[in-house]
């Protein structure tokens, strides 16, 4: 039975192993180390701490939920809650679906962007590709050491000069007919064989996969670099240029050729075919983010933020018209969305000014040097370049939000919204608000908990946005 623990807090090795005999502490440690090595290289934050092993005997998921190696399932419990049941599976799956829709519509515009949500998928692919690459390198060296198999080609020539060995019987027949021609047979050897074609395509495919990890995902790993260089050297310096120049599809052996190689007298050829067939099956876990999104371990705070973003964009588009994302494609999802009517939504972005118009009322002008960053609320809506709505998303229970988070939210309100000229919303994943509607220095603020009724929560978000736009 898998050990189940909440996404926040710390869990000792002893308690995990007592809760389930299936827990393998060594495998869990290895996966956490892999996570850490990948997340260290991210140019983009995840909105969560990395999972960690503390003092060698304590596991801290750091806000990541999903199936970890070693028989540990981390549940999407809200921060500050003791039980994983605080976020039920149906609600969390709805959050995941919303995050997937955002990623599919606006984000994952480059490989590096994917890492902030699915480092586990990258870890699995890295292990897979390096393993196949290493085994292919070993087999390639064995094949070259024992000389590559060759194909024998026999050609019969009929003419007035010999080409190869004479065919006396057929030459006599030609002489009897009075043609004066001679018949000869020529034997040639070629290393353009199903084996060399398979080597060419296999090395090419793995080089592409390793380049995806090393360059697009910006993973700094000497093994990736060394093995990538080897695959290129084999293709460009050791295999026939006629084979290397072919399209990938032209080099893939037919089923008949595969069968003949499986029956080869050379063990290395038989192993090469087995490796290729195994790769064709195993590469199903490669980096297809859409297939991996629902099952991979993900940071719960970022998942909830993206669900909120997807709902807010959907609400605004129904009211205002289609949005136009504007931002660097190096980001997982855009940070700015422009709507008709000079309405702009900013997500997780420091907004000191909007198109040259100052938006920070105190922090920017009073406490920061020119061009320095100011506060970064999860969501800021502006109308005519003036902030009118601020919201923060918390994967926490509404009645027990951490104090530091509350003070940040209050700071955003005071800095971005003039009294009586804007509204705010605090979006919580679970719990029951102490007061669902409050006024803070003449700024109406909605406290919305989504888990109890996702549809009703969306309705309250829509009402908060609509009230804001109606008043400006």
Alpha-carbon gap, residue 77 to 300, rounded angstroms: 9
CA–CA dist 24, 54 (Å, integer) = 16
Domains defined along the chain, listed by start? 1-75 (no CATH), 121-150+191-285 (no CATH), 298-470 (3.40.1350)
Residue 168 has pLDDT above 80, yes or no: no
Confidence of residue 286 (pLDDT cuts 50, 70, 90): very low
| 126-160 pLDDT tens trace | 777 888 888 999 999 988 887 766 555 566 777 77
Spatial separation of the C-alpha atoms in residues 414 and 398, rounded to whole Å: 21
* Model pLDDT, residue 343: 95
Q: How confident is the model at residue 332, as a pLDDT?
A: 62
Residue 390, strand partner residues = 380, 424
For the chain, helix, strand, coil in percent to 5 are 45, 20, 35
Is the Cβ–Cβ distance between 315 and 343 less than 8 Å? no
d(Cα 225, Cα 219) in Å, to the nearest integer?
10
Instruction: Identify the pLDDT of residue 120.
Output: 64
What is the per-residue pLDDT across 389-446, written as a single tens digit (0 to 9) for each? 999 999 998 888 889 999 999 999 999 998 888 899 999 998 888 999 999 888 888 8
What DSSP character marks residue 146? T
* Burial class for 220, CB neighbours closer than 10 Å (0-12, 13-18, 19+): exposed
Beta strand pairing call for 423-430 and 386-397: parallel
Straight-line distance from the first to the last Cα atom of the chain, in angstroms, rounded to the nearest whole number: 56
What pLDDT is recorded for position 108?
47
pLDDT of amino acid 21: 85
Least confident of 93-107, 127-141, 190-204: 93-107
Rounded percentage of the chain residues whose pLDDT exceeds 70: 79
- How open is the CA angle 56-61-66, to the nearest 5 degrees? 130
User: In the chain, pLDDT over 90 holds for what percent of residues?
Assistant: 25
CA distance 449 to 430: 5
Say what the pLDDT of residue 110 is: 42
Q: Which among 456, 419, 463 is positioned nearest to 441, based on CA atoms?
A: 419
Q: Rounded to an integer, what distance in angstroms lies between the CA atom of residue 34 and that of residue 114?
A: 16
- The residue that leads in pLDDT, 449 or 148, is 449
Say yes or no to pLDDT of 187 above 70: no
pLDDT value at 94 more than 80: yes
Question: Of 34-48, 60-74, 153-167, 438-452, where does the model show the most confidence?
Answer: 60-74
Q: Are 203 and 236 in contact (CB under 8 A)?
A: no
| Contact partners, residue 301, CB within 8 Å, separation at least 6 | 47, 48, 63, 79, 393, 395
Q: 184 with 166: CB under 8 angstroms?
A: yes
DSSP-assigned beta bridge partners for residue 427? 393, 448
Distances (CA, A) of 200 to 131, 136, 204, 373, 394: 18, 11, 6, 51, 51
Quick: pLDDT tens for 338-366. 999 999 999 988 888 888 888 889 888 88
State residue 299 phi and psi, 5-degree precision: -75, 120
């Amino acid at each position: 039975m898998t050990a189940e623990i909440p996404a926040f807090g710390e869990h000792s090795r002893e308690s995990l192993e007592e809760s389930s005999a299936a827990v393998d502490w060594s495998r869990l440690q290895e996966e956490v180390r892999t996570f850490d090595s990948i997340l260290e290289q991210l140019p983009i934050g995840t909105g969560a701490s990395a999972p960690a092993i503390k003092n060698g005997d304590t596991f801290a998921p750091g806000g990541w939920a999903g199936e970890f190696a070693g028989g540990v399932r981390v549940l999407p419990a809200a921060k500050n809650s003791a039980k994983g049941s605080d976020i039920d599976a149906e609600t969390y799956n709805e959050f995941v679906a919303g995050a997937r829709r955002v990623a599919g519509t606006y984000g994952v515009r480059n490989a590096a962007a994917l890492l902030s949500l699915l480092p586990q998928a990258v870890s699995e692919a890295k292990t897979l590709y390096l393993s196949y690459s290493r085994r292919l390198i070993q087999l390639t060296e064995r094949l070259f050491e024992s000389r590559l198999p060759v194909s024998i080609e026999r050609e019969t020539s009929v003419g007035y000069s010999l080409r190869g060995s004479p065919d006396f019987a057929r030459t006599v027949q030609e002489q009897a007919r009075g043609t004066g021609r001679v018949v000869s047979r020529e034997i040639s050897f070629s290393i353009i064989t199903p084996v060399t074609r398979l080597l060419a395509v296999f090395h090419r495919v793995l080089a592409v996969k390793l380049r995806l990890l090393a360059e697009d995902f910006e993973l700094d790993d000497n093994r990736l670099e060394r093995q990538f260089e080897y695959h290129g050297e084999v293709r460009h310096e050791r295999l026939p240029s006629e084979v290397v120049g072919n399209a990938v599809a032209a080099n893939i052996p037919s089923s008949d050729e595969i069968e003949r190689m499986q029956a080869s007298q050379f063990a290395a050829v038989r192993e090469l075919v087995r490796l290729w067939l195994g790769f064709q099956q195993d590469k199903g876990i490669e980096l297809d983010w859409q297939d991996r999104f629902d099952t991979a371990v993900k940071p719960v705070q970022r998942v909830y933020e993206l669900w909120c973003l997807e709902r807010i964009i959907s609400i605004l588009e129904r009211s205002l018209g289609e949005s136009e994302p504007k931002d660097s494609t190096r980001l997982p999802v855009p940070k700015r969305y422009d709507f008709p009517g000079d309405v702009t939504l900013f997500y997780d972005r420091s907004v000191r000014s909007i198109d040259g118009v100052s938006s920070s009322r105190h922090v920017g002008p009073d406490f920061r040097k020119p061009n320095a960053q100011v506060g970064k609320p999860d969501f800021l809506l502006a109308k005519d370049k003036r902030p009118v709505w601020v919201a923060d998303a918390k994967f926490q229970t509404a009645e027990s939000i951490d104090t530091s988070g509350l003070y940040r939210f209050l700071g955003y309100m005071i800095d971005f919204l003039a009294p009586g000229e804007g509204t705010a919303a605090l979006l919580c994943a679970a719990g029951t608000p102490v007061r669902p509607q409050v006024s803070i220095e003449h700024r109406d603020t909605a406290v919305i908990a989504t888990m109890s009724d996702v549809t009703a929560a969306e309705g309250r978000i829509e009402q908060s946005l609509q009230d804001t736009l109606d008043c400006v």
